[in-house]
């Protein structure tokens, strides 16, 4: 997440101008929110709309903004502004969830 929400956001945005990358990014946001609660709810889905529905239920204060990426995920676009507006709006929630996730330490 930090690679597109971190300190180097502007240069990363410049590299994410292709339509497929933008769609992948917005779908990843919705799925990340869903995955943050899916284990506790014992549910699974690969479809973007059930993911958005459950994420919106679990993160009610951000409900409206969570549905926006689900809408954008179904529309191919080469205009990054609406997608990055959603990312900026969800960044605090995504960062909070990332910080709550325990870090796995692996020794090779």
Asked if residue 52 belongs to a domain, the reply is yes
Domain that holds residue 59: 2-99
Asked if residue 104 belongs to a domain, the reply is no
User: Given this model, what pLDDT does residue 104 score?
Assistant: 40
User: Given this model, what pLDDT does residue 40 score?
Assistant: 86
Asked if residue 35 belongs to a domain, the reply is yes
Residues of the chain with pLDDT under 50: 1-9, 12, 17, 104-108
User: Given this model, what pLDDT does residue 15 score?
Assistant: 55
Asked if residue 105 belongs to a domain, the reply is no
User: Given this model, what pLDDT does residue 9 score?
Assistant: 46
User: Given this model, what pLDDT does residue 19 score?
Assistant: 61
User: Given this model, what pLDDT does residue 108 score?
Assistant: 35
Give, in order, the Cα–Cα distances in Å from 81 to each of 13, 52, 85: 10, 21, 6
Q: What is the pTM of this model?
A: 0.69
Query: What b/e string do you get for 81-108 counting C-beta neighbours within 10 Å, with b at 16 or more?
Result: ebbbebbeebeebbeebeeeeeeeeeee
User: Given this model, what pLDDT does residue 8 score?
Assistant: 45
- Please give the torsion angle defined by the CA atoms of residues 104, 101, 26 and 9, in that order, rounded to the nearest 10 degrees: -80
> Based on the structure, what is the number of domains in the chain?
1
């Amino acid at each position: 997440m930090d690679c597109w929400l971190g300190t180097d956001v502007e240069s990363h945005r410049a590299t994410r101008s292709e339509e497929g990358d933008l769609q992948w990014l917005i779908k990843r946001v919705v799925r990340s929110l869903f995955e943050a609660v899916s284990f506790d709810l014992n549910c699974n889905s690969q479809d973007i709309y059930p993911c958005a529905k459950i994420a919106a239920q679990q993160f009610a204060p951000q409900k409206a903004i969570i549905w926006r990426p689900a809408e954008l995920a179904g529309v191919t676009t080469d205009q990054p502004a609406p997608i990055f507006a959603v990312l900026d709006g969800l960044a605090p929630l995504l960062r909070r969830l990332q910080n709550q996730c325990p870090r796995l330490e692996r020794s090779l």
